[in-house]
Structure formats: structure tokens, C-alpha cells
Structure 1
């Protein structure tokens, strides 16, 4: 479908038009013209972009979709609808399904289910069979079938020897392990951050040490094999410092942070709202400051949604027995703007670097390129409610709230979706 975008500000560090206000013409899925002034042609859809930003299409590194087997939480259709509404033109989906994505059959199933979608859906295969951390899944076969990386989701792998073998094996065929950082023996069964707050609430706390020790272990193993690793969803100031030093030392390490960890603090748990129960737990203000600084100085490579849909019966219960996680695909952008991130940082951490980490093609806003972009207005307000929520689930503390930062259009795979301006 043909589209003419008028008066839009382009933010793409890889484009010669970066930070310029231009008109952009798209014909049959290709960007055919970028200029100061283009005239609407017959059959084109006009989009007035005044005050809005055009960025390479967002990409999510860490997203749970329940298909196969857990479609009552989220399926491919609703998951990609939520992704589109949040500005994502690509998502990497975790293997935490039923059955677990642990062989080429499950990888091929997801790829076939997601065909012809505006949103590119990339399966992440399991590292271990049934996510138990004991036996290697079929990594090589999954890679050949189209898996972009390997992860056990939010399950940390305790067995050092198992991770050692997994790194050694995956190195042989260019596989990437995405590891969740938690030392289970230190974290125990605690569910919130260890601080004065957990004492006041009368609940055991997860110390930052549990995350930081696990990252240190993974760095030692990656260094030993000279292998790449990715640390998913870091949350502490100490983790930022450890990873910063590792990068300086030449370790092939990348990491991401969930958007909500840049805004939400542990103080929000005082009312025991289970919609704020996430893993890793919400931390303190000093951690948030360190995470934002880590994004700005390049220590943290990417931002993820950590989208975790759940049926109401898993969340509308006492805090201690509630499931971890929130739906987040539609609220990443407003949270990043609330955290004070600028458009260039958002483009780098939410569009460019996630694809670079997974060795996927990076969309560039230039003439002749395939159109793959997101248009959003950084100051437009909108209400996130049951009518605007595209997910099948509703476990978000932001539902019913007015948010700032609205996705207005997404374009990918010769398709585009316009949202209310």
C-alpha cells in the first residue's frame, strides 16, 4: 500500500536524514522518496506527521506469547496486535509455552503461525529441555529452523557445568545464549527487593547480590570460551557496574533492561498490588538512576518489554501467590518518555541494537530501503483501558491511566496500521 508522510521528524542514527524534518513516500513497501516537499499522488494515503517522530520499527527482545498451548494468556494474533499498537514491527518470543519451544518442530510452528503478519515474529528456543536446566535442548536444529537465540525465559540456570557446556556447544554454530540473572540459592523464595521496604512489608527480600553473582558467573564462563552472552532484564546498579567493567575488559557481553525498571520503584508495592509483582523485583531509586545512566553510556545495549500476559486468576489473588509479570508491549514507549529518554536513545535501544544483538537486518530510513518504521508523537496523551488494550490479558498497573507518548503508525512487510491521531 502506498503512503505519503508529510512533515515528519526522522530519527535514525544510520540515516543521512537523521534529525531532519521531511516528507517520506512509500510505494509497494519501499521508501521511494525523502524530500522537503512531496506532493500527494493518486491512490496514496496521506499521513500528517507534524510534531511526530519517525523511527526505525521497534523490536522487542523479550516477549512471552502463549502460543502454542497457553493461548488463553496470549496468542499470535493478540500478541502481534499489542506489539503493533506499541510500535513494534518485530518481536522475539520466548520458549515458555506448552509444549516448550525446544525442537525444530515448535520453531517451525511459530514461524508458520506468524506468516504474512505486519509484525515479524522470531522464535527463541529453549536452552534446556522443559526449562529444567539439566539436559540441552536441540539447539543446532532449532537454529537451522529459524531460532534467533536460546533462553530459558525467567528461569535461571543454577548448574554452572550445564551453562559451561551450553556455551561451548552453541559457540560451534554461532548460537547466542540469553541468560536470566538470578542465583537461586541466594534469592530463595523471596519475591520483592531486599531493602528497608521489604522489612516494613513483612516479606523476605531478594538481594541485589543474587543478580550480580549470577552475572559474574556468566561473565567468567563467557570469558573462558571467548563466547558471546546476553544477560536479560538486569535491574541493579551493581549489575550495571559489573557489565561495564566486563565490556571494558573485552568480554562479548550484551544486556537489556525492562522498560518498567526505569520508572517503577519498590515503593509501589506498599498496597500489595500484584500487578507490580515482576521478576526481577522492582528496585530502588538509586538502581533506576544507574540503569538510565547505563543506557546513556552504552553499558546497557537494549530495552525490552518483558511482556508477561496472565489470566485474571493468576493475578487477582494475594501478592505472595500471584504470578510474576505484566503486559507491557503497549506501554514501553510512554515509560521510556517518562524516564526522560530522548528519541535517539529510544531508536538505538528499542530498534537498532535489539536486532544487532540477534544478528537480524537493521532497517534504515533511506531511499530504496524496505519500509520498516514506527511513527509516534512524544507528547500526545491517551488512555490505556479495556478498549485500547490489544492484549488478551489485562495484568497491567497502567490500565485506566492517561499515558503520554502515542504510537500513530507502523509500517512493515508492505502493510501499515494507522492509529488515532
Structure 2
């Protein structure tokens, strides 16, 4: 169906219409006209968007969808439904499934199953067989089949020699490794940030040192091999400082931060709500301030959701035995707006840079281009409830709360979905 979006402010630094308020016509999946005043054609759906913003569709670098094997947590249908409602037209899915995405057959399975969806699915292949950190997975074969990068999910490659060999191997075919920054020997079996607050709560903490030691290891290896590495979900002020220096030194490093790390702090743990149990753990206000500064100065390249769905029996238990993670696809945008991020910064960190990191084509809001965009109202308030939660899981501390910043429309692959 053809579509006319009226009176929309465009946020796309690659577009000649950036920061301008225009009407946009979409016909047969492509943008055919952009002007200040367009008259609606016959058989054209009109979407009034005064006060809203249109940007290229968001892309998530770090999303867990349980297909195959963990469909009781999330499947492709519910995962992409939640992604659409959050403004995402593309998601990179983690290999932590059953079976693990560690060969071309699993990559092909995901791509075939996701065909025809509004949301583009990009598989991340495992670095090691079965995520065990012992034998290299079939990374080259997975890349030729369609894997966009390689990850161990929320697992850390503890063997320095294995990580070194993986970087060297991936460099041979321009592969990108995505690492999770946690030194397990330092973090041990702790569950929260190490701080005065968590000590008072009687919980053993994970120090910032655990994250920063692992980042240091990966930076040394990346420098030694001249290989790129992407560090996902950094959470400490020290991590920002280290990566900023590494970039100045010419090391090929990029990184992202989870949206919830820009708002939530370990002060929220006083109620022992397991929905705040994430890894890396919620840190201090000083860390949040440093992360926001790192986003603004370009040290942090992208923002991810770290969407981790879980059945109720994994979260509605004592804090210490609860699973890590929250569902986050639908709530990333409101958190970024709450953190004070501008539309320009949001489009850079949520739409453009994620695709650039994975060497994917970046949508541009211009005449003649394929239509791939999100429309959202940054001031619209809405209630996040079980009725409008599209995920199969419900492990979010934001459920039944009023949020500000509402996705109203997403368009991609000649399909659109509105949320009025």
C-alpha cells in the first residue's frame, strides 16, 4: 500500500532534508517524493505526523531470540514484533541458541525462516564450537552463508591464546569479532556491581576491574594482530577511558553500550528486584555520566538493547539465583530520551553506526531510495503493559510504568506497521 507521511521532521545526517519538516511519499517500497506540501493521491494511506521525527530504521547489535531451541523465551515472530514496536527494522541475533549458531546450516536456517519479514535478521555466528572456547567454529563458512560478525553471546573467551588465534583467523577474511568484557577469575560468582551500596545490601560485587582487565587483553591482541575487535556492552568509566586512548593509538576497536546502562544504576537494587539483574551489572552514577560523555565524544560507537528474554520461572525467584537480563527492544528509545540524547545522536548510535560497523547498507531518507525508517514522537507518553508488550517474555522493570517517547510507525521491505 502506498503511504504519505505528513509534516514530519527528518533526522538523517546523510539526507539533504536533515532537520527539515516535510511530507514524504512512499510508493511500492521506495521514497518517491519529499517536499513541504504534498497532496494525497487516491488510494494512498495518509499518516499525520506533526510533532514527530522520522529517521532511518534502528538496528540492534545485540539481541537474543531463542529460535532455534529456546522458543519458550522468544521466537522469531514475537522477537520481530517487539523489535518493530521499538522502532527496529534490523536486529543482529546472538548465537546462544540450541543448537548454537556455529555452522552455515544454522545461519541458513535463520535467514530462510526470517524471509519476508519487515525486520531484517542478521545472524551472529559463534566464535567457538558450542560456545565452549575450545575449537574455532566454522566462521568463514558462516560468513559466506550470511553471518555478519562473530560472538560468544554473554560468554567470555577466557583462553588468551584461543582469542589470539580467533582474531588472526577472522582477519584473513575480514571477519569481525564481538567480545563480552568480563574477566571471570575476577568477577567469580558475584551478581552485582562492587560498590558501597551493594556491600550494604550484603551482596558480593563484580568490580570494574573485571571488565577493564578483559578489555585490556582484547586491546593488546587487536593491536598485535592489526585486527578489528568490537567490545559489546561496556559499563564503566574506566572502559570508556581505555577505549578512547586505544582509538587515539590507532587500535581498530569499536564498542557499544546497552540502553539501560545509561539510566539505571545500582541504587535500584535496594528492592532486590531481579528484573534489574543484568550483566554487566548496573554501575554507579559516575559510570553513567562517563558513558554518556563517551557517546557524545564518539568513543562509544553504538547503543544496543541487550534484549534477553526469560520465562517467569527464571526471574521470579531470589535475586542470587535469577537469570541475567531484561527484555529491552520496546523500551530502548524511551530510555535514551530519558537520558537526554538528541534525535541526531539517537539516529547516529541506533541506526547508522550499527550498520556501518557490520558493513551493511545504510538507509538514507532521499528520493529514489528504498524506504526503511521509523517515526516516533519524543514527547508522547504511553503505558507499557502486558497488553502492548509484544515479547513472549515479561522480564522488564519498566512494565506497568509510564514511558515517554512512542514509536508510531515503522517501514521496511515494502511493509509498514503503525502504533497509533
Same fold by TM-score greater than 0.5: yes
Query: 1:409 is paired with a residue of what secondary structure?
Result: strand
Work out whether 1:107 is the aligned partner of 2:107. Answer: yes
Q: Which residue of 2 aligns with 1:80?
A: 80
Work out whether 1:234 is the aligned partner of 2:267. Answer: no
Q: Which residue of 2 aligns with 1:59?
A: 59
Q: Which residue of 2 aligns with 1:125?
A: 125
Q: Following TM superposition, by how much is the alpha carbon of 1:203 offset from its aligned partner in structure 2, in angstroms?
A: 1.1
Q: Following TM superposition, by how much is the alpha carbon of 1:134 offset from its aligned partner in structure 2, in angstroms?
A: 1.1
Q: Which residue of 1 aligns with 2:171?
A: 171
Q: Deviations over 1:70-128 (max 9, x none)?
A: 00000000000000000000000000101100000100000011000000000000011
Q: Following TM superposition, by how much is the alpha carbon of 1:157 offset from its aligned partner in structure 2, in angstroms?
A: 0.8
Q: Which residue of 2 aligns with 1:148?
A: 148
Q: Following TM superposition, by how much is the alpha carbon of 1:198 offset from its aligned partner in structure 2, in angstroms?
A: 1.7
For 1:296 and 1:46, the matched residues in 2 are separated by 36
Equivalences for residues 147-296 of structure 1 within 5 A: 147-296=147-296
For 1:20 and 1:198, the matched residues in 2 are separated by 47
Q: Following TM superposition, by how much is the alpha carbon of 1:186 offset from its aligned partner in structure 2, in angstroms?
A: 0.5
For 2:108 and 2:384, the matched residues in 1 are separated by 34
Q: May I ask how many residue pairs the two structures share in their alignment?
A: 420
Query: 2:323 is paired with a residue of what secondary structure?
Result: coil
For 2:173 and 2:249, the matched residues in 1 are separated by 24
For 2:45 and 2:177, the matched residues in 1 are separated by 43
Q: Which residue of 1 aligns with 2:45?
A: 45
Query: 2:125 is paired with a residue of what secondary structure?
Result: coil
Query: 1:374 is paired with a residue of what secondary structure?
Result: strand
Structure 2 length normalisation: TM-score? 1.00
For 1:146 and 1:197, the matched residues in 2 are separated by 45
For 1:79 and 1:26, the matched residues in 2 are separated by 26
Equivalences for residues 272-421 of structure 1 within 5 A: 272-420=272-420
For 1:219 and 1:157, the matched residues in 2 are separated by 14
Q: Following TM superposition, by how much is the alpha carbon of 1:130 offset from its aligned partner in structure 2, in angstroms?
A: 1.1
Q: Following TM superposition, by how much is the alpha carbon of 1:170 offset from its aligned partner in structure 2, in angstroms?
A: 0.4
Instruction: List structure 1 runs of 4+ shifted beyond 3 angstroms.
Output: none
For 1:249 and 1:48, the matched residues in 2 are separated by 49
For 2:198 and 2:302, the matched residues in 1 are separated by 29
For 1:60 and 1:37, the matched residues in 2 are separated by 33
Q: Deviations over 1:309-367 (max 9, x none)?
A: 00000000000000000000000000000000000000000000000000000000000
Q: Following TM superposition, by how much is the alpha carbon of 1:25 offset from its aligned partner in structure 2, in angstroms?
A: 0.4
RMSD: 0.4
Q: Following TM superposition, by how much is the alpha carbon of 1:305 offset from its aligned partner in structure 2, in angstroms?
A: 0.4
Q: Deviations over 1:252-308 (max 9, x none)?
A: 110000000000000100111000000000000000000000000000000000000
For 1:132 and 1:86, the matched residues in 2 are separated by 33
Could you list the runs of 5+ residues in structure 2 that have no partner in the other structure? Answer: none
Q: Following TM superposition, by how much is the alpha carbon of 1:133 offset from its aligned partner in structure 2, in angstroms?
A: 1.0
